[in-house]
Structure 1
Amino acid sequence: MITSYLQKCRAILDTVEAQQSQIEQAARLFADTILAGRMVHVFGSGHSRIMVEEMWPRYGSFPGFNPIVELSLTFHNLVVGANGQRQAMFLENVPGLADRILRNFDLSERDTALVISSSGCNVVPIEMAELFQQRGVKVVALITKDHAAQSTSKRADGKKLSDFADLILDTGAPVGDAMVQVPGLDTPVAPGSTVGGAVIVNAIKAEVARLLTEAGHPPRVLTAGAVVGADRAVELFEAAYDEHAHRLAKLYAQVGVPSYVSGS
């Protein structure tokens, strides 16, 4: 079973590698946003939250990304009871919730977005991409193409995340996500979309870092003290977090109803 899973993961890597030109396109879009002083909005509901946090903030990542993590859609560890999985799965198909989330941000056409949904069929990520596009924000969708193609949209008009994407990336996982057939068990186990998604996210990240550096604005990367020394690590973390705050401030300063504060 272990060998079977690893073999299927190697096939996922081949699928990702075949998308190099698309990954480069995504990286260019995101680098242009970051160089403009704006942010790349990263959103995913359910377990797609994993990819959001893989992008930023963690070791080897840098500011320029706005991780939009809605706890009501992603808080899985209780499973049942209050804040349980049933509620999260229900809420990710409630029309209008994406609009309420984005109401908190002053978006710009210089922004870009990465919206992650393996099936591409749940209402909130679909509406999130649609609303981004309506505001002039280019959208990169990270889906599982085979799974999305055979899944039914929860949206009334049948549209999927891919219908509101300027660029589509594929995790390479199979239909249903789980990849290993165990003898005697009638359902497969061990999903693959997280593997493909994490590889794509970090490939994008590496290419964005190259583009920022070549443009004369090398990113402030969260780096372990074991690599750069304790003092330099603290310096990088503080600088990266401060830069994130400065970028984020632009998303709030002029949001919504004007006030004497925003006017000043």
Structure 2
Amino acid sequence: MLAKEWLKNAYEVMNNIENTQLENVRKAAEIMADSIEAGRWVHTFGCGHATIPVEEMYPRIGGFVGFHPLVELPLTFFTQIKGQMGIHQFLFLERAEGYGIEVMKNYDFDSKDCLWLFSHTGINAVNIDVALEAKKLGMKVIVFGSAEQTKGKKSRHSCGKNLFELADVVVDSCVPLEDASVPLKNHFDKVGPLSTMGFITLVWVTVTTVAEILADRGVKLFIHPSHNLPGDTTAHERLDNALSEYKKRVKVL
């Protein structure tokens, strides 16, 4: 049964994350906690399906203020598939050197900020542009992706380095480079990719670690509450407080 094979593969990725990546997650979380405690931002970026973990973490029930999504619509919008903002344009843009520099011009960053990048392969130019610009501005760069499996894969950027080689901290998603994981009879290509599941797992492993660090430091978190629980009469007030804090911080950008 192919569904069970995909589940087995997914469990293996999650087990590998738990067994091999928690130390690096902690290192990344300490950097993020420093930025948030300073009243600054953890800027988050990805392309294609690697924007899904960016969109997952905030605004989100159980997420908290401090994570700022850098989401470029042409690099994330897939439902057209063809025509305007189609797959061909996306593939061109994520490989177009210089585009990431233009993205970064739109914001006022600070050296107390950090950048959290998601990239399965770490070789495409737009991600590398963004990372290089962040480092020029004095920001720490944290990269999540299939780092071990990407070793030796040629960068698509003129700097000659992949994203993992530029990072201050790397967390391996433990996902095979091929991504799709389940063979299908009479077909060359596999089905059932794992990278999104790996990224979402790592988002909450990391964000909960950041929350723990900040709570231990006595920092107040502005958490996005559930507003679906009967009897919770202060949920909307807490939501308004979180959104007010977000608006206050985002003014500096």
Q: Structure 2 length as normaliser, TM-score?
A: 0.94
The residue identity in structure 2 corresponding to 1:116 is F
Deviates more, 1:236-245 or 1:119-128: 236-245
Deviation at 1:150, TM superposition (A): 5.7
User: Any idea what the Cα deviations from partners look like across 1:214-252, whole Å, max 9, x if unmatched?
Assistant: 22223121121344845322122211111111111122x
Find out whether 1:167 has 2:165 as its counterpart: no
2:205 to 195, 203, 213: 203
Question: Which residue of the partner structure matches residue 61 of structure 2?
Answer: 59
Deviation at 1:208, TM superposition (A): 1.0
Identity score, percent: 33
Q: 2 CA distance for matches of 1:117 and 1:146?
A: 13
Q: 2 CA distance for matches of 1:99 and 1:166?
A: 19
Tell me, yes or no, if the aligned pair for 1:75 and 1:85 is still in contact at 8 Å: no
Q: 2 CA distance for matches of 1:226 and 1:238?
A: 15
Q: Structure 1 length as normaliser, TM-score?
A: 0.90
Q: 2 CA distance for matches of 1:103 and 1:24?
A: 30
Question: Which residue of the partner structure matches residue 6 of structure 2?
Answer: 5
The residue identity in structure 2 corresponding to 1:2 is A
Find out whether 1:16 has 2:17 as its counterpart: yes
Question: Which residue of the partner structure matches residue 41 of structure 1?
Answer: 43
| Number of aligned positions between the proteins | 251
Deviation at 1:61, TM superposition (A): 0.3
Deviation at 1:145, TM superposition (A): 2.2
Tell me, yes or no, if the aligned pair for 1:52 and 1:67 is still in contact at 8 Å: yes
Find out whether 1:239 has 2:241 as its counterpart: yes
Tell me, yes or no, if the aligned pair for 1:5 and 1:190 is still in contact at 8 Å: yes
1:173-252 equivalences in 2 (<5 Å): 173-227=175-229, 229-251=231-253
1:78 to 61, 77, 80: 80
Question: Which residue of the partner structure matches residue 106 of structure 2?
Answer: 104
RMSD: 1.5
Tell me, yes or no, if the aligned pair for 1:106 and 1:250 is still in contact at 8 Å: yes
The residue identity in structure 2 corresponding to 1:139 is V
- Poorly superposed stretches of 4+, deviation over 6 Å: none
**Structure 1 gap ranges (5+):** 252-264
Tell me, yes or no, if the aligned pair for 2:46 and 2:118 is still in contact at 8 Å: yes
Q: 1 CA distance for matches of 2:36 and 2:208?
A: 14
Q: 2 CA distance for matches of 1:228 and 1:106?
A: 41
**Structure 2 gap ranges (5+):** none
Question: Which residue of the partner structure matches residue 258 of structure 1?
Answer: none
Tell me, yes or no, if the aligned pair for 1:98 and 1:128 is still in contact at 8 Å: yes
Tell me, yes or no, if the aligned pair for 1:40 and 1:112 is still in contact at 8 Å: yes
Q: 1 CA distance for matches of 2:149 and 2:193?
A: 12
